[in-house]
Amino acid sequence: MARVSFASHPFLLGFEQLDQLVERTAKAGDGYPPYNIELTGEDAYRITLAVAGFAESELSITVEDQHLVIRGKQADLGDGREFLHRGIATRQFQKSFVLAQRVEVVDASLDCGLLHIDLKRKAPDTVVQSIQIKPGR
């Protein structure tokens, strides 16, 4: 049986990539670090990641081909500490979010172990394109 998707509808031309993004996003199931996504205003969003134990210098935020990518890698302290219980995760991570067109990162801050990333959708440029009809051959 062939797989049917919303992108196969005849009125949705050129949306094949969107269908692939939905499929890829559904497969990304790692829950670390935990995060929230908030609607903070009209066309404004905030992603908050719980990154306890990470310093600013151990975190990076990039936008790569409409993917917001947050990476964390802690320096190996190697200070000889012996833990009886280690419940605070210190493993490296990469968390990726697909951004819609015209959504930009406007700010990022680290506060009390929470990394806040603020996003805003820019207003679209209104462009009306007139297509000239050429006589048939």
- Mean pLDDT for the chain overall: 85
CA–CA separation, 18 and 67 (whole Å): 13
With 0.85 as the threshold, say if the pTM is over it.
Answer: no
On whether the CB atoms of residues 68 and 60 are closer than 8 A, the answer is: no
Per-residue pLDDT tens digits for 73-119: 987 766 788 889 988 777 899 999 989 889 999 999 999 999 999 99
Instruction: Give the three-state DSSP class for 19.
Output: helix
99, 66 Cβ separation under 8 angstroms: yes
Residues 6 or more apart whose CB falls under 8 angstroms from that of 114 comprise: 48, 49, 50, 51
Q: What is the pLDDT of residue 27?
A: 60
